[in-house]
Amino acid sequence: MISEKTQKKIESIASKLPQRAAAMLSALRLIQDEIGHVPPEEREWLAGKLGVSPAAVEAVLSFYTLFRREPEGKYTIWVCSTLPCALRGCELLMDHLRHALGIREGETSPDRRITLKRAECLGGCDRAPVVQVGEDYHDVLLDLSLGTAKVSFERVEALLEKLT
Ligand code: FES
């Protein structure tokens, strides 16, 4: 369960808003900041605290990809697969990362270091295909110089080596 301090912060935010439910995003963020994800027990607690149904909390959690329902690795690699990135070879990248990490999409490497996820547009379409890790974009993982997209093994390896 989250700490008393975080519970008080959430109550303080909710009590200042005209509708307690409006504190949902801030509260989820605070819970995730403390625990690393938003476990079922905290989802139930939050629903009660904000006077909403558990389904309302689930809906918000599943809409925003920044929220984690399960524990993840130290790093999460997000591979954008929206149209501009899809047209420029994001599936090649995803295949390569799955193979290199030995995991499927949504899974975490056995050493709990890396989670691999698919994202909707990451806001860097002009640099497609885009991969995001933390606050950083990595947009040069494919070699497009010959007109045909190919995974740059060296660049992907360099990225994975950095994530230690
Ligand atoms: S479509 Fe991939 S960053 Fe926008």
Domain chopping of the chain, boundaries: 4-63, 75-162
The CATH code that applies to domain 4-63 is 1.10.10
For every one of its 164 residues, what pLDDT tens digit does the chain have, with 9 covering 90 and above? 899 999 999 999 999 999 999 999 999 999 999 999 999 999 999 999 999 999 999 999 999 888 999 999 999 999 999 999 998 888 988 999 999 999 999 999 999 999 999 999 999 898 888 899 988 888 766 666 656 666 777 788 888 898 88
- The answer to whether 82 touches 123, Cβ cutoff 8 Å, is no
CATH superfamily of 75-162: Glutaredoxin (3.40.30.10)
Name the residue of 82, 117, 127, 137 whose CB sits within 8 Å of the most ligand 1 atoms, as the mutation to test its pocket.
82
* Cβ 130 under 6 angstroms from ligand 1: yes
pTM of the model: 0.75
